Amino acid sequence: MRLWNMTLAALVVFATMPAHADAVFCAGQNLANEWQRGHAAFDSGDHAKALSILRPLAENGFAPAQWLMGRMVIGGQGTAQDDETGLLWLRLARRGEMPGINGDIRALESRLPMDKIIAVQERADGWRPNLSPTCQPGSIPVQLSVVPALMGQRERLYDWWMRLVENAHHSQVDAGPYLRSVDSVNFTDSVDVNAAIARTPQGNMLVVSAALAEMPAAKAISLLMPAARELVNDRMVRMTAPPPPVETYKGIVLRGYAGRENQPFFDTMRRTMDMLPRLPPHLRNQMAGVHEVRYMPSLKYSVFSPLTVYKTTYIEDKKATGGGYLAFTRDPVTVSSVDALGALLGPAIAKANANLSTAALNCRISAGLLDAAKSLDWDETTQAPYRRHLQSEKCKA
């Protein structure tokens, strides 16, 4: 957790690139404006207008537009009803990292015969983005930063990024609109990450390994695109999604995430908080400082942060009750009750012991989680990882 906080705190060098004179709708703020216009037309019932706005975005490979196009075609809204073409758009949207689309696809496939599903898959395999004539390369405003270890390379990295984005469409047709829509990039010297999404109170950014600048452009783009797509898609969906749900359970505020399925998060947190009264007093006291837990979906493409161990981090935020909140980063469907409790206790223990070194802090967290496992009568298999860590040379020292 400390490593992650230090990394975010180290965004000390910024560069803002000038906007291109001929800004186009398919990237950056113009893409956001077109998406909002298309979605607003859909919401108002003007489906013909929505289709005219969204179709070029979908044909360019923009996943949110593909998702909404699919829904409209399936429902016969503004166009002829066609389940197969609707399924094609949904599958393309899933390929483009559109979140939460699997349920829509399963529901549609359940009423289609297998031969038609196979035919749609063949169409999807052969589909290629159709870059519209108005979607030409061009710089857009982007905030670039580096961690302190890369200060000497910052100009080279900034120049590499702008050249890569400018020519992205040559390596991957639909890469240009997405990469030109990323408005905040931080270069890291970590060797364990290609590209990751960092979610902070100030906004989301793309974290990029400086090592990618040494690779051929096509390879670098292929490693960047999953995170870049998710970052841009996520922003667009949140722009048009209703406010995330909020509830208070046993005195703790639970805040969902706009545009995502939040029920599993609320269910997981309630089950976990039901365990808290059975914890030893010293652990309950440390949890007493936690007033809010927010669902902030995962750092999917990164393994360089302790977040991947604890599944949450504590984020300082003066606007939040208590001066901060726990950010729950993993898909709650995949998290067991054991892991969920650890996700709450780990950052709470760390916050209460902020003066310790990283190694000592990790030992303190393992000790706390072992105490929790014992108090909840969890089996030896559950306790074993914490016990082994405490018996290691790091904790004995």
Specify the range with the lowest mean pLDDT, choosing from 73-87, 103-117, 124-138. 124-138
The structure tokens 């073409």 sit at 85
Is 64:234 a contact under the CB 8 Å cutoff? no
Across 132-284, the runs of DSSP E, i.e. the strands, are 143-146, 184-188, 195-200, 203-209, 246-249, 252-255
Specify the range with the lowest mean pLDDT, choosing from 47-61, 153-167, 350-364, 374-388. 350-364
pLDDT for position 305: 42
Q: How far apart (Å, rounded) are the C-alpha atoms in residues 100 and 197?
A: 18
Order the strands of the 195-200 sheet from edge to edge. Answer: 15-16, 143-146, 184-188, 203-209, 195-200
Residues 6+ apart with CB under 8 A from 358: 2, 3
Strands 203-209 and 252-255: unpaired
Residues 137-179: tens digit of each pLDDT: 544 567 899 989 999 999 999 999 988 988 887 777 778 888 8
Residue 20: pLDDT band by 50, 70, 90 thresholds? very low
Is 174:182 a contact under the CB 8 Å cutoff? no
Beta bridge partners of 200: 203
Residue closest to 250 by CA, chosen among 231, 234, 272, 265: 272
Q: If 0-12 CB within 10 Å is exposed, 13-18 middle and 19+ buried, where does residue 249 land?
A: middle
Residues 276-304: tens digit of each pLDDT: 999 999 888 888 878 899 998 865 554 44
What the block records as the tokens of 245 is: 């749900």
pLDDT for position 30: 78
User: One-letter amino acid identity for 380?
Assistant: E
Is 197:229 a contact under the CB 8 Å cutoff? no
Residue 26: pLDDT band by 50, 70, 90 thresholds? low
Instruction: Specify the 3-state DSSP secondary structure of 264.
Output: helix
Q: How far apart (Å, rounded) are the C-alpha atoms in residues 355 and 363?
A: 13
Question: Which part of the chain has CATH 1.25.40?
Answer: 28-126
Q: How far apart (Å, rounded) are the C-alpha atoms in residues 165 and 118?
A: 35
Q: Compute the average pLDDT of residues 209-229.
A: 92
Just give the CATH number of 28-126.
Answer: 1.25.40
Length of the chain (residues): 397
pLDDT for position 311: 64
Q: How far apart (Å, rounded) are the C-alpha atoms in residues 179 and 221?
A: 9
Q: How far is CA 123 from CA 12, 64, 104, 207, 358, in A?
A: 47, 19, 18, 34, 52
Residue 3: pLDDT band by 50, 70, 90 thresholds? very low
pLDDT for position 25: 53
Query: Whole-structure pTM over 0.85, yes or no?
Result: no
Residues 6+ apart with CB under 8 A from 281: none
